[in-house]
Amino acid sequence: MEKLQNFMWIIQSLLAIGQLAVMLYALKAFLSKPKNALEQRVAALEVKVKEHDNSLHQGNDNFRAQTQTNEVLIQTVLALIEFEIQYCLLENKQPSPELLRAKENLQQYLSRK
């Protein structure tokens, strides 16, 4: 009978230790839950920041391309105005005041740039 009581006492002790271990594990998991949630949120925000940075870089590239296109178009318009003025002079015609004003405005714009 004494052996049975010792065996029961050992089993109860092991069960109590097991329950304590489970309770400690559950407490640890419960306490680390906010930390895990914050880590996930930070990781998601870092991904969004990278996406935004990439988007901004692509936008800057688009603006650079647009600037180059604008420069080409301005040079082309200036060349066309010059051509039209030269054509008028060769034909012994007076260039229109609007054409001369357009050339002057474009040259002023380019000189301010």
Structure letter (DSSP) for residue 1? -
Q: How far lies 70's CA from each of 48, 66, 73, in Å? A: 32, 6, 5
Tens place of pLDDT for every residue, the chain, 113 residues?
A: 788 888 899 999 999 999 999 999 999 988 888 888 889 999 999 999 999 888 887 777 778 788 888 888 988 998 999 999 998 888 888 888 898 898 898 888 888 87
Find the helix packing angle between 97-112 and 2-90, rounded to 10°.
140
pTM of the entire structure? 0.47
